[in-house]
Structure 1
């Protein structure tokens, strides 16, 4: 995948919803973070210059969680686009390794949550609750 002229200048972000049966993994962003501090968010990060977004997702999951995921074969399950950001979210159901907080400078915790836990969390974006609930129903 190449970045189109329409995407030039946008911050490219890739993230994943890791699902293991009836639970999803979220990362708690450190309170000292400049952007979206003290919220539960998806693992992921920025696409580097010239990097394929799907390959970037694999790299980010390895760096942040210490796992090896396959490059996604399909399109993202959801995308957000603003004037400055293009964020892609993929559903990841399989990987090798056990997710750990391999990036303590970015997250102070990683944890698994079931549907009943999600409503009490301070999530990074208001749309995450309905997205995660839908993912856990399927």
Structure 2
């Protein structure tokens, strides 16, 4: 069976929100993970992300920006990753059976955390850089950084 997932890096104040997955979870037990979940039949990645973040964190997101697509272990599907910097509502853990704890992390704390996927670091760290341009995420994730001319014309 092919699994399709959508997940978000929720960024605020130079920190990212992660959830510590409960130790009894079938997938990625006892590690820190981004928030999101599986797409339902006929659902877009953006719609799934909005639904999952409402169910898990009690927030309504605005303007999720695509970042990357990561393969799931064993070639069983993929996960679309998004940047989310704006939302309505106060973040709170509505699913403690799934994430036993949620917390905000600064970039220097991430390398020491047990993460659900080590591939998170290369795409999370630049998002937390002090001069990160959130509009750059609309360009290809693998593209070169914008030139000064591009920044002035965006």
> Which range, TM-score by smaller chain?
0.7 to 0.9
1:127 aligns with one of 82, 101, 119: 119
Whole-angstrom CA distance in 2 between matches of 1:71 and 1:12:
20
Q: C-alpha offsets along residues 71-105 of structure 1, whole Å, 9 cap, x if unaligned?
A: 53x5x201112531110000000000111111112
Partner of 1:112: 104
User: What secondary structure does 1:69 align onto?
Assistant: strand
- The answer to whether the Cα contact below 8 Å between 2:63 and 2:84 also exists between their aligned partners in 1 is no
Task: Please give the root-mean-square deviation of Cα atoms over the aligned residues, in Å.
Answer: 1.3
Whole-angstrom CA distance in 2 between matches of 1:71 and 1:135:
16
Q: For the pair shown, which has the larger CA radius of gyration, 1 or 2? A: 2
Unmatched segments (≥5 aa) in structure 2: 133-154
Aligned-pair CA distance for 1:130 = 2.1
Whole-angstrom CA distance in 2 between matches of 1:70 and 1:56:
13
Structure 2 length-normalised TM: 0.79
Partner of 2:86: 94
Higher relative contact order (CA 8 A, sep 6+): 1
Partner of 1:78: 68
Partner of 2:28: 36
The verdict on how the C-alpha distance between 1:71 and 1:12 changes in structure 2, with shifts beyond 3 A counting, is farther
Structure 1 length-normalised TM: 0.87
Whole-angstrom CA distance in 1 between matches of 2:34 and 2:21:
9
Unmatched segments (≥5 aa) in structure 1: 1-8
Superposition pairs for residues 19-58 of structure 1, below 5 Å?
19-58=11-50
Aligned residue pair count: 128
Which has a greater percent of helix? 2
- The answer to whether the Cα contact below 8 Å between 1:25 and 1:113 also exists between their aligned partners in 2 is yes
